[in-house]
């Protein structure tokens, strides 16, 4: 028998029994000698336990898996864990929410994905608005962390991933209290650094910490986040990696802090789109909402005028085909952009609309008519119905319509740029389309555009992304289309970490 690295076999460990309980036959001793074994160590234990293959350290009569110590040099993590195949683990004694915090990463060689554990060994970070048993959910706010105790249960979406073998390596920061917080507005915890280009572009929106992490660290496989009106999709574009906002209510959202349940959904980020189908199949389980991606033809819609610019023609296409033909809410509301102007923001004030569904049902049963509901939410409902019936033809079993949309008009946006003004995000904004439709949306980087950086004084790449939106339940179909599109455009299905996307 020939070994390529004979020095590796100088030390051999017999696990599961003490030395005095093992008898090595002469023939076996000769074989070990031929391997070059010079030291034999015996570690007592249960011989029925299956020990994963891989390197081990023997010390004080015990065996240990060596873990690599990495550093959070882009300030993405709120708190890292000592990995364990259960949600959480033990928090590392390191500075909370700082820069260059320690992150423990287990070796991949101890894990073998299987049918029963398809995510075995997958390393996942979790937004700090999603519950991890035994740890505080801080919302990146010191007062919130001071008030509330560690939670007693894992979020349902975390349990599903962990039961499939995923390892939670830590919780990452978010914009405090899930509100707008540009880098210059971060008071308590440093905003993360976007690794793309010159390293000083804003990471964008509440999910920017986790997006920056996926784009920074090749030891991170997936990140679990949440999306309301662009919290995962804009960071996907700015940080150059893949993301999916699932169909609303396709999974149990228990344990996810939601300030607007009508729109809020867990989301998944990653660098390799080919790994999404398996992860999503685990995440969704046997949800009846999910549609079979093989049973329908696909029609792709590309509204060339529906762009996020100041051009008045922005709304031309959808106005003509979606709204002006029959004005579903009367001729006084023939301008869809104006009709939806407040519908994207005012519902946040009325999030009880979703929470108080039992109240509305009991009210209508008792009085024979529904209670008063703010017009902004009625308009969201009207818009959703028009999109699903007139544009996406969502009930068709033979044809699935998907729409391709850009994520904003990309321009350089530096960390120290003047703060944008506060204002309403129109319900007609493309970022609101999938939440209002309760539909899935997949965001994918498709290239970059060079720009002259004022920081590095050289040309730097700026990621450009596209989103695909489909009817509710077409999540896996969208992921499949993105992968086919990347391959058709001769683009890698996996993005790099660091300065360049590809």
Q: Is residue 292 part of a domain?
A: no
Same-domain pairing of 101 and 248: yes
User: How many residues are listed for the chain in this entry?
Assistant: 502
Q: What is the CA radius of gyration of the chain?
A: 26
Sequence-separated contacts (24+) of 315-323 with Cβ below 8 Å: 315/428, 318/391, 318/428, 321/390, 321/391, 322/386, 322/387, 322/390, 322/391, 323/386
Give the list of residues 6+ apart from residue 28 with CB closer than 8 angstroms, or none.
Answer: none
Same-domain pairing of 340 and 427: yes
Same-domain pairing of 125 and 274: yes
Residue 306: CB atoms within 10 A of its CB come to: 20
DSSP line for 204-272: -STTHHHHHHHHH-TT--EEEEEESSSTTHHHHHHHT-EEEEPPTTSS--TTB--S-TTT-EEEEEESB
Q: Is residue 489 part of a domain?
A: no
Same-domain pairing of 56 and 73: no
Q: Structural domain of residue 359, as residue ranges?
A: 297-473
Q: Is residue 493 part of a domain?
A: no
320-332 residue pLDDT tens? 434 445 566 666 6
Question: Could you say which of 256, 284, 312 is where a domain stops?
Answer: 284
Q: Is residue 17 part of a domain?
A: yes
Tokens 């784009």 sit on residue: 215
243-289 residue pLDDT tens? 999 999 999 999 998 877 778 899 999 999 999 999 999 999 988 88
Residue 32: CB atoms within 10 A of its CB come to: 15
For position 86, what pLDDT does the model report?
56
Question: Could you say which of 284, 309, 343 is where a domain stops?
Answer: 284
pLDDT over 60 at 166, yes or no = yes
Give the list of residues 6+ apart from residue 264 with CB closer than 8 angstroms, or none.
Answer: 226, 227, 228, 253, 256, 258
37-72 residue pLDDT tens? 888 888 888 878 888 888 888 777 777 888 888 999
Same-domain pairing of 116 and 151: yes
Question: Could you say which of 252, 284, 316 is where a domain stops?
Answer: 284
Same-domain pairing of 55 and 10: yes
The answer to pTM > 0.85 is: no
Q: Is residue 482 part of a domain?
A: no
396-450 residue pLDDT tens? 888 999 998 877 767 888 998 888 776 666 666 778 889 889 999 999 998 888 9
Same-domain pairing of 309 and 369: yes
CATH number at residue 151: 3.90.1300.10
**Count of domains forming the chain:** 3
pLDDT over 90 at 154, yes or no = yes
469-488 residue pLDDT tens? 999 999 999 999 999 999 98
Same-domain pairing of 47 and 72: no
Same-domain pairing of 109 and 249: yes
Question: Residue 447: beta bridge partners?
Answer: 464
Q: Is residue 501 part of a domain?
A: no
Same-domain pairing of 156 and 180: yes
Same-domain pairing of 302 and 261: no
Same-domain pairing of 278 and 150: yes
Q: Is residue 480 part of a domain?
A: no
């Amino acid at each position: 028998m020939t070994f390529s690295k004979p020095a590796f076999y100088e030390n051999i460990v017999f696990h599961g029994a003490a030395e005095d309980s093992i008898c090595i036959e002469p023939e076996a001793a000769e074989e070990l000698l031929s391997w070059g074994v010079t030291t034999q160590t015996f570690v007592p234990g249960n011989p029925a336990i299956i020990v994963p293959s891989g390197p081990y350290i023997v010390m004080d009569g015990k065996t240990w898996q060596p873990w690599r110590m990495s550093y959070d040099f882009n300030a993405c993590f709120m708190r890292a864990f000592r990995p364990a195949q259960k949600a959480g683990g033990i928090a590392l004694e390191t500075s909370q929410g700082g820069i260059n915090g320690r992150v423990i990463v287990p070796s991949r060689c101890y894990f073998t994905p299987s049918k029963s554990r398809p995510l075995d060994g997958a390393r996942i970070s979790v937004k700090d608005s999603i519950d991890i048993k035994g740890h505080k959910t801080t919302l990146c706010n010191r007062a919130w962390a001071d008030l509330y105790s560690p939670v007693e249960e894992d979020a349902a979406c975390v349990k599903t991933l962990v039961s499939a073998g995923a390892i939670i390596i830590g919780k990452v920061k978010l914009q405090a209290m899930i509100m707008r917080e540009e880098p210059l507005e971060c008071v308590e915890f440093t905003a993360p650094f976007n690794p793309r280009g010159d390293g000083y572009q804003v990471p964008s929106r509440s999910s920017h910490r986790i997006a920056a992490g996926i784009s920074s660290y090749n030891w991170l496989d997936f990140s679990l986040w949440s999306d309301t009106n662009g919290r995962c999709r804009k960071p996907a574009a700015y940080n150059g990696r893949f993301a999916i906002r699932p169909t609303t209510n396709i999974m149990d959202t228990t344990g996810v802090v939601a300030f607007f349940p009508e729109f809020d959904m867990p989301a998944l980020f990653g660098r390799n789109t080919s790994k999404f189908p398996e992860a999503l199949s685990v995440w969704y389980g046997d949800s009846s909402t999910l549609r079979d991606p093989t049973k329908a033809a696909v029609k792709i819609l590309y509204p060339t005028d529906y762009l996020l610019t100041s051009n008045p023609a922005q709304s031309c296409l959808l106005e003509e085909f979606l709204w002006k033909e029959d004005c579903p809410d009367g001729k006084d509301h023939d301008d869809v952009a104006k009709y939806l102007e407040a519908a994207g923001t005012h519902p946040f004030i009325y999030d009880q609309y979703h929470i108080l569904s039992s109240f509305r049902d009991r009210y209508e049963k008792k009085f024979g008519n529904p209670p008063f509901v703010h017009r902004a939410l009625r308009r969201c409902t009207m818009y959703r119905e028009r999109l699903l019936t007139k544009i996406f033809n969502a009930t068709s079993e033979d044809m699935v319509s998907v729409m391709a949309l850009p994520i904003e008009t990309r321009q350089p946006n530096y960390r120290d740029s003047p703060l944008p003004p506060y204002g309403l995000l129109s319900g007609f904004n493309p970022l609101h389309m999938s939440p209002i439709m309760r539909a899935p949306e997949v965001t994918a980087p498709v290239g970059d555009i060079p720009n002259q950086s004022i920081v590095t004084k050289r040309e730097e790449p700026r990621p450009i992304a596209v989103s695909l939106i489909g009817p509710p339940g077409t999540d896996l179909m969208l992921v499949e289309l993105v992968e086919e599109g990347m391959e058709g455009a001769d683009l890698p299905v996996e993005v790099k970490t660091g300065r360049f996307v590809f």
